[in-house]
């Protein structure tokens, strides 16, 4: 499954979840070059993301920089590829589901 999110440097729009693992935008170098932090239970890993090559951030989950950007709000697009069985949510959606007990 392919999916794309706009991420912005300010919360609450700076993260997404892969199943229950948080992935946060930590640094924008350029609209097609930025860093994500992956918060696994054992380790917090910084991943460099570009539009040149997709990178595996978790098993069977790859990301790359998308084609769109929002320079006025300093937003970047992250393109995500993962099997359909892996749940991927924006941070705002994930937290709302947690509050509702879903």
Residue 78 bridge partners (DSSP) = 5, 65
pLDDT tens per residue across span 21-57? 999 999 999 999 999 999 998 889 999 999 999 999 9
Helices (H), 1-102: 91-99
CA gap 70, 77 in Å, rounded: 8
Residue 64: cis peptide before it, omega within 30 degrees of 0: no
Give the global pTM.
0.93
CB 71 within 8 A of CB 52: no
Q: What are the pLDDT digits (tens) for 54-90? A: 999 999 999 999 988 887 888 999 999 999 999 999 9
């Amino acid at each position: 499954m392919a999916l794309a999110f706009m991420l912005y440097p300010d919360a609450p729009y700076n993260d997404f979840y892969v199943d229950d693992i948080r992935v946060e935008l930590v640094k924008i170098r350029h609209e097609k070059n930025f860093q994500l932090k992956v918060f696994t239970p054992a380790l917090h890993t910084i991943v460099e993301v570009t539009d040149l090559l997709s990178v595996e951030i978790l098993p069977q989950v790859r990301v790359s920089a998308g084609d769109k950007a929002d320079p006025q709000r300093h937003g970047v697009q992250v393109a995500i590829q993962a099997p359909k069985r892996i749940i991927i949510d924006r941070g705002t959606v994930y937290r709302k589901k947690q509050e509702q007990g879903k």
